[in-house]
């Protein structure tokens, strides 16, 4: 429930729109996760260079 509420605040979806756009949300979440992995890798590289 907390994650859904956070998604509403960030993306601006209502609960009904979330139900309609579940495939889109899955794609968005996959993109976000891949971006998080990239940022983690970048942070690791920055730390190792320091």
Q: For the segment 6-30, what is each residue's pLDDT rounded down to a tens digit?
A: 655 655 555 556 566 667 767 777 7
Range from 6-10, 27-31, 32-36, 39-43 carrying the lowest mean pLDDT: 6-10
| Contacts with 13 (C-beta within 8 Å, 6 or more apart), sequence order | 7, 21, 25
* 43 vs 18: CA distance, rounded Å: 32
Average pLDDT, the chain: 68
Q: What is residue 17's predicted lDDT score, i.e. its pLDDT?
A: 62
Domain ranges of the chain: 21-50
Q: Which residues, including other chains, have CB under 8 Å from residue 28's CB and lie 6 or more apart?
A: 11
With vertex at residue 25, the alpha carbon angle to CA 30 and CA 36, rounded to the nearest 5 degrees, is 30
Asked if 21 and 13 count as a contact pair (C-beta separation under 8 A), the reply is: yes
Model pTM score: 0.32
């Amino acid at each position: 429930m907390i994650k859904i509420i956070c998604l509403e605040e960030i993306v601006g979806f209502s609960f009904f729109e979330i139900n309609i756009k579940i495939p889109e949300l899955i794609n968005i979440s996959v993109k976000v996760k891949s971006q998080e992995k990239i940022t983690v890798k970048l942070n690791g590289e920055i730390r190792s260079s320091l």
